[in-house]
Each structure stands twice: as C-alpha cells, then as structure tokens.
C-alpha cells in the first residue's frame, strides 16, 4: 500500500457508493473522516478499514438534512486536527411521491441534503485545499442529470445542478490544483432502492443497466485524479447519456413522463 498524507471526507459513507469510496481510498493510503446518520455502521467500517490498511479513520454521525450539519462536520474536523484534502459528496436520496402530496419539510430536506449541503461542504473545504495547492472533490450527480425530467421528482433537477456546479467549480479551481468531478452513475447495486422503497421496480430493470459500486468508484476516482470534470461510468451509461441529450425538449418531456423508476406504482 502507498500511504499518503491526505485525508478524505466521505458523506453517506455507511453503505453503497460511499462505503465503496471509503474502502478504495483506505486501500490507497488515505486517512478518512466518515460521515453518515448510522453511527454504528460507521464505527464498524472504520474499524475494518483501520485494521486492514493501517489508516486513521474518524467517524462523525450527522444528518445532512440538518442545515447545521456541514458546519458541525468541519468543526469536528478542526477539533481533531484533520485537514480535508479530498471531499466525496455522496449522501443522497430521492422522493417518490407526488410533489403536491409531499409535505414541504420533506422536500426542503431533499434540497438541503443534495443541493445546499453539497455546495456548502465544497465551500468550507476549499480554503484549506487552496492554501495547500492540492485538493480533489467528487460530487455525486447521476445519469439522471442527462435524462428527461421525471414526473414529480426534484431529483433530476437537483442532479443537473450538481453536474453544472461541479463543472463550474472545476473551471475556477483547477489552475490552483483542485480538481472537481461530477460522477454520474446509472443504476448501481446498493441499498439506495431499498431505502427509497423502489426495490421491486428496480429489480425489473435489465441486468445490463446495472453496475457494482466498486466499478463506479474506480472510474470516478480515476476521473478526478486525471482532472476530468464529468464522469459517466460504464459503456451503457455513456451511450444513454450521449443519446438522450440531443432529443427535442418535447420528446424528453414525454419520455420522462413514462419512464420513472422512482415513482410509486412503477416505471
């Protein structure tokens, strides 16, 4: 193992792509600050990675739906003398009920988690990265950012925002040694659909559409290290992304209305 002097902050680290990023980074000698709501799972993962790879693993239980969470995470890091060199903004979810029927606090939490917290964490880690002249940020967008809008979903618009802001930040920061990549996976084998209650719908999708979290992480990490501002992992996802974007807006509208794996009642 090649050790580094760098530390990575990974949100949503207790499962799925977040846990896969934690394992990948630990195997490459990065110290870790793991963040998620489930403290016990974070502690189990931290113990596993410290034992396997001899790296420092700190944990901080936080719900990024809480507007105070990003500041609390950074205050914890400062109190432990942790300098954040790598940020993996992974935490996310998707609503699946009609917009008009969803209580506003639930919608606000979705925006807080995947728009405000993502943006705030980027802003909060940048002073240290810029002072050191080196940093890497991976923001989890989605293949949905290239796809037609989904009925009742904030998700596609949110992920398009993450795609755009990541590219904008990369333009600004790359000359100063900080790379920013929007990682845009398609269907990934993880607990995401179980958490969202859409497992039955997701399981009906063809196997060729699915990737393992480890594959997604490998391509995403390679992309940010090479300075690529956008990464769509997997040949099928690349084909989908390139084929959907040129469609006329009215076609995208109709396609998005009919194909929505997160909507209650099916795709």
**What letter would DSSP give residue 116?**
I
- Is-catalytic flag, 155? yes
Helix (H, G, I), strand (E, B) or coil at 8: strand
Report the chain's terminal Cα–Cα distance, integer Å.
Answer: 44
From residue 123, alpha-carbon distances to 147, 165, 193 in Å are 28, 12, 30
- Identify the H or E element spanning 262: none
State how far the Cα of 160 lies from the Cα of 210, in Å rounded to an integer.
21
From residue 198, alpha-carbon distances to 24, 74, 90 in Å are 28, 33, 19
Concatenating the DSSP letter of every residue in 39-64 gives HHHHHHHHHHHHHHH---EEEEE--T
Q: Which residues are catalytic?
A: 155
């Amino acid at each position: 193992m090649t050790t580094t002097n760098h530390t990575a902050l990974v949100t949503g680290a207790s499962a799925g792509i977040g846990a896969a990023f934690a394992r990948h980074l630990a195997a490459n000698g990065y110290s870790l600050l793991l963040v998620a709501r489930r403290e016990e799972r974070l502690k189990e993962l931290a113990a596993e990675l410290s034992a396997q790879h001899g790296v420092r693993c700190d944990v901080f239980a936080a719900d990024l739906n809480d507007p105070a969470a990003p500041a609390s995470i950074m205050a914890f890091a400062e109190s432990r003398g942790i300098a954040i060199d790598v940020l993996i903004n992974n935490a996310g979810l998707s609503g699946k009920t009609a917009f008009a029927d969803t209580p506003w606090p639930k919608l606000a939490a979705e925006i807080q988690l995947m728009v405000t917290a993502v943006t705030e964490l980027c802003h909060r880690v940048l002073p240290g990265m810029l002072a050191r002249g080196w940093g890497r940020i991976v923001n989890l967008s989605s293949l949905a950012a290239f796809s037609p809008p989904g009925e009742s979903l904030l998700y596609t618009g949110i992920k398009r925002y993450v795609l755009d802001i990541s590219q904008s930040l990369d333009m600004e920061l790359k000359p100063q040694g900080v790379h920013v990549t929007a990682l845009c996976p398609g269907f990934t084998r993880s607990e995401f659909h179980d958490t969202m209650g859409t497992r039955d719908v997701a399981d009906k999708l063809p196997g060729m559409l699915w990737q393992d979290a480890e594959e997604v992480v490998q391509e995403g990490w390679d992309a940010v290290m090479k300075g690529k501002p956008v990464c769509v992992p997997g040949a099928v996802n690349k084909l989908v992304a390139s084929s959907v974007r040129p469609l006329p807006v009215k076609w995208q509208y109709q396609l998005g209305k009919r194909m929505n794996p997160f909507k209650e009642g099916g795709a």
